[in-house]
Each structure stands twice: as structure tokens, then as C-alpha cells.
Amino acid sequence: MTFTTDSLQRLARLRVLFLNAHDGLADYWDSEESLALYDATFAERIGWKWNFVLNDLDAREWTLPDGTLVDWGCGTGVASQKILQSPIGSAICNLSLFDRSTLSLDFASKKLTQLFPNIHFTQGDAPNAETVVISHVLNELSRDALNALLARLNKATAILWVEPSLKHVSRKLIEVREALRERFRLVAPCVHQARCGMLAPENERHWCHHFAEPPQEAFTQSKWAKFSQTMQIDLRDLSLSYLVLDKRPIAPLEPRAKRLIGNARLYKATASLLSVEVENGRIKQWNTPI
């Protein structure tokens, strides 16, 4: 893929919108071209984050419930595409695409029906669907829209939600966790079912985020070099926030296990790490010599 000046300008406009979105954004999909550009760049990068989440769930031997999956705020459908390509999504036979933009619904439907001819596709929210998938939407929702979505999510059996690792977005995702945790079990990244330890006053400066591994092509293809340079995105930094919830019983974790949050910070002679503990849900800061 080679970018024209026009295509780079379209992508740059989208980036500005995404970065400045706070509590509500009007529909911005203006053409099939913009969706195709998004799909080949931002969405592909989002897909790398989904690969990380799906591998994490696969390692925990967690699978999606049988039945229908809704990709809520589907855009070009990258989240459901990654799920259908992963072993954890093998029981999905119906996929419903939902977005306020009809342009995006048409784009995602066309792309996904070609990729997955054996899946039954519909458009619109499916309130009785077993699984709801949400990706990079939180920033764009007004408070009322988020509350309506939370009420709607209570009907699902499983929820998979991936967002960028911006601090305010991660903090909002913790709000979602707290609103839903009475009715769902917390599968990932949480290692306990209690109140999120990030809400303790001493953790106010932290946020829950993780780092996915970008694929080799991010550093070898000229498309990505141009994208990274123009958008000023460091492709090595593939950080994300995510949340996976399930109403079904989940396998217990080893009680003495801990989960790393973010990455280790390296200083001259020491490394500083943040972790959450299975046993008591506490967030702990570690300083170890290196």
C-alpha cells in the first residue's frame, strides 16, 4: 500500500478526532475510502492488540460461549475478525455488526462475509447475544450512551472490551469493571474479583495497561514507516487496556501469582515494577536491583 497526500490527510484528521474525543463524538465516517484507510492502518494496529488479548485468554483456556457475538461499534470489524480467526472464537456461528454509521456497517459486513463465508451475519444490536465485543469506542460515548450500554451489557454472558491505554480511558474502563463486577466474573486482566486496586488513593497516578508485541512487519514494511512518521506514532509502543467478563464459572488462579501491570521501568541500577496480587487484589510496587 502506498499513501497519497490525500489519504495521509484523511488519516491525520481521524487521528486528531480520536485523540481529542472525550465523552461523545459525532459520526465521522464520511466515505468508503476513509474506512478502507482506517482498516489498513489504525484497525490493523488495533488487531495486533486483540491478538495479545486473545492469546492471553487462550493461555487461560478460556473460550467464548457458543452462539451469537455482537461487535458493538464495529467500525471496519477488526475485533470480530480477530476473534473469528482465533481458536477461542471457534464456537461462534452468528455475528451481528452494530454501529451508528451505516457506512461502517456496510464496509464491515462486506469485508467479513468475504473472509468468513460460513458465518451467519446480521446488522444491528442483538440484545440476546451471548457475547458482546467492544473495541476503541469508550472515548466516543457520552455519559448517557455509556450508561445505556452498561444496562444493555447486563444481558450478555461474556464481554470482551479493548481500549487504548490512555490514562483517562483506562480509568473509565475501571468504572465499567466496577459497574459490572457484581453480575460477572472478572476473567482478565484482573486476577481477583474484588474492587479494583487502582482505585486506592495511593494508586491515583497509575492506570491499568499492558503491552502487546507488534509483528515484524511493523518494522519492515514501508507502509508502516510512512504511517508511523506521519501520524507520529511509535509502533514499538503497543499498549492497551482491556477487560474480559463472564457470567460462567472461571478457573481459579494460583493464589500466590501476581500479574505485571505496564512494563518495568529501568533505572541505572534498579528496576521498578507494578503488579497486582491474586491473593488480596493489592497493587504493589517493586524496586529490584538489576
Ligand X SMILES: C[S@@+](CC[C@H](N)C(=O)[O-])C[C@H]1O[C@@H](n2cnc3c(N)ncnc32)[C@H](O)[C@@H]1O
Q: Which of 57, 70, 83, 99 is the binder for ligand X (CB under 6 A)?
A: 99
Identify which of residues 46 and 69 has a Cβ nearer to ligand X in the complex: 46
Is 112 one of the binding residues for ligand X (CB under 6 A)? no
Residue 26 CB, nearest distance to ligand X (Å)?
9
If one asks whether residue 176 binds ligand X (CB under 6 A), the answer comes out as: no
Residue count, binding to ligand X (CB under 6 A): 20
- Other Cβ atoms within 10 Å of 48 Cβ, number: 19
Per CB under 6 A, the segment of 136-144, 174-182, 212-220, 237-245 that binds ligand X is 136-144
Question: What dihedral do alpha carbons 63, 66, 72, 77 form, nearest 10°?
Answer: 80
Q: Which is nearer to ligand X, 46 or 196 (CB)?
A: 46
Nearer to ligand X, 106 or 277 (CB): 106
Among 3, 11, 37, 43, binds ligand X (CB under 6 A): 43
Instruction: Tell me: does residue 75 bind ligand X (CB under 6 A).
Output: yes
- Residue from 53, 54, 79, 132 touching ligand X (CB under 6 A): that is 79
Smallest distance, ligand X to C-beta of residue 12, A: 15
Does residue 246 interact with ligand X by CB under 6 A? no
Q: Alpha-carbon distance 202 to 274, whole Å?
A: 13
- Binding stretches for ligand X (CB under 6 A): 18, 27, 29, 43, 46, 73-75, 78-79, 99-101, 104, 135-137, 140-141, 145
